[in-house]
Amino acid sequence: MSTSPGRGRPLAGGAVRLLCLLWLAGVAMRMTLLVVPPIIPLVHEELHMSETQIGLLMGLPLAMFALAAVPGSLLIARIGARLALVLGMVIAALAGGARGAAIDVWTLYAASIVTGLGIAVMQPGMPTLVRDWLPGRIALGTVFYSNGMMIGAILPPVLTIPLVLPLTGGSWRLNFILWALPAVLIAILFLLLSPREPPHERRTETKVNASGTLWWPDWKNPLIWLLGLAFGSNNSPFFAANAFLGDYLVSEGSGRFLGLALTALNGAQIFAFAILFLMANRLTQRAWPFLLCGPCMLAGFLGLIFLSSSAAVIICTALIGISTALTMTPTLALPALLAAPGDVPRIAAGMFTISYTCAIIIPTICGALWDATGKPWTAFVPLCVCSVTLAVLGAIVSRFRPQATTATLLASTKQL
């Protein structure tokens, strides 16, 4: 873990500002994406979508997370993490609002793909900025931006049904537009308030990356695959649960619980933030969060399959939400903790490429199982498998230690 003289001291005003900016960027990374689950029944009815198509609606933006992660690493090398992040925010906000103008499934898919592209550009930049801005507080910086992601995931499910939809007369189209407005505002604030020049050390590393040598992930590196598959086992259940929960509860005659269930699934992560904030350094590079949360997530999905009371639904969805939150942050912190500063974007890009490839495939399989069998509960079977995989791979990758520096990697590259 990186250290600095500032570790353990009270945060200075500048550091607080940087933490707030990281938090806002995290909000922007999820707000335009998680506006979809609360209105899926409305979109489903108007556009006559199948469950497989619903899975694709959530899966296609995740496909861009995978496909654009490596180009995002190259963009960071060319223009810097700050500007790449702002560009991604603007793309995601504008495309997210444009989904409200969709005339059919295909135009909705197209806007969703561009939304995913914007978020994909942002993702490798976040661990890079944490490493650049707060080298002695990597765990804390990761906690703040991952908490922003949680809040960005919570706000649409919590506010859409009781507040936003009534304001828009029940229009899912206007709902998309209204949620795009704060995303644009965040992009403006981030551009105005974030540091304009990276530290000297980062400029040196950027030159190395800009040479075209170290922006491409080393796919032979087992760390990238372990990180990617572990994070894929974390985010796939989260996105798939958000995608299918609405239709699943309706099919079980429990549609009236949807607002509460989505609030529990996403809102439980606020409780997780308190734990993460107080125990950030005790959670990173530790096996126990994965060994605890993997089985808890499994219990949540099994509860949804076998239990039907309102209390059981709320408890199970909360269990899934808090389990994904407590394992997301330790996983997101690992690229910045284990890689040399100049290698963080490409390690993160490789991790996101693999993890979001999983997050495309798994929700699609969930929807296909539902369509093929006609049994709603089968959509949760792949997510049970993910819960076990998360516990195993997370425990393994948590035992890794920092890799070689950029200079060493460059020297070894020249020898090949």
pLDDT tens, residue by residue, 245-281: 888 888 888 877 787 888 888 777 777 777 877 776 6
* Tokens standing for residue 121: 């550009």
**Cα 281 to Cα 232, 328, 406, distances in angstroms:** 23, 14, 25
Mean pLDDT calculated for residue range 39-63: 81
The answer to whether residue 232 sits within a structural domain is yes
The answer to whether residue 393 sits within a structural domain is yes
Count of domains observed in the chain: 1
Reported confidence tier of residue 416, pLDDT bands at 50, 70, 90: very low
The answer to whether residue 407 sits within a structural domain is yes
Task: Single out the residue of 30, 192, 33, 183 nearest to residue 94, CA to CA.
Answer: 183
Rounded CA-CA distance 161/180 in Å is 17
Mean pLDDT calculated for residue range 93-119: 92
**Percentage helix, strand, coil for the chain under 3-state DSSP, each rounded to 5:** 80, 0, 20
pLDDT of residue 96: 92
Amino acid found at 374: G
**Does pLDDT of 205 surpass 50?**
no
Alpha helices in 194-221 (DSSP H): 200-210
Amino acid found at 149: M
Over the stretch 294-303, which tens digit does the pLDDT of each residue have? 999 999 999 9
Over the stretch 310-364, which tens digit does the pLDDT of each residue have? 889 999 999 999 999 889 888 888 887 877 666 777 888 888 889 888 887 888 8
The answer to whether residue 7 sits within a structural domain is no
The answer to whether residue 4 sits within a structural domain is no
**Does pLDDT of 415 surpass 60?**
no
CATH number at residue 164: 1.20.1250.20
pLDDT of residue 11: 53
The answer to whether residue 12 sits within a structural domain is no
Burial class (CB in 10 A: 0-12, 13-18, 19+), 13: exposed
Residues 142, 119 contacting (CB under 8 angstroms): no
| Neighbouring C-beta atoms of residue 203, cutoff 10 Å | 11
For 282, the domain range is 18-196+204-415
Least confident of 106-110, 113-117, 307-311: 307-311
The model's pTM: 0.70
Mean pLDDT calculated for residue range 280-309: 87
Mean pLDDT calculated for residue range 152-179: 88
Count the residues in the chain: 416
Mean pLDDT calculated for residue range 195-224: 61
Residues 157, 263 contacting (CB under 8 angstroms): yes
pLDDT of residue 3: 38
Q: Which of 79-83, 187-191, 334-338, 405-409 has the highest mean pLDDT?
A: 187-191
Reported confidence tier of residue 12, pLDDT bands at 50, 70, 90: low
Contacts of 134 (CB under 8 A, 6+ apart): 15, 18, 19, 140, 141
The number of helices, as runs of H, and strands, as runs of E, in the chain is: 19, 0
**Does pLDDT of 10 surpass 60?**
no
Residues 41, 249 contacting (CB under 8 angstroms): no
The answer to whether residue 96 sits within a structural domain is yes
Mean pLDDT calculated for residue range 42-55: 81
* Tokens standing for residue 395: 């425990």
Rounded CA-CA distance 107/241 in Å is 24
pLDDT of residue 269: 73
| Between residues 25 and 258, the one the model is more confident about | 25
pLDDT of residue 197: 57
Task: Single out the residue of 339, 335, 342 nearest to residue 77, CA to CA.
Answer: 342
Rounded CA-CA distance 143/238 in Å is 18
Rounded CA-CA distance 284/293 in Å is 14
**Does pLDDT of 414 surpass 50?**
no
pLDDT of residue 214: 64
* Tokens standing for residue 108: 């909705």
The answer to whether residue 44 sits within a structural domain is yes
Strand, coil or helix: 383: helix
* Tokens standing for residue 392: 């195993």
Tell me the percentage of the chain whose pLDDT exceeds 90.
30
* Tokens standing for residue 268: 């439980």
- The mean pLDDT of the chain is 82
Least confident of 97-106, 241-250, 281-290: 281-290
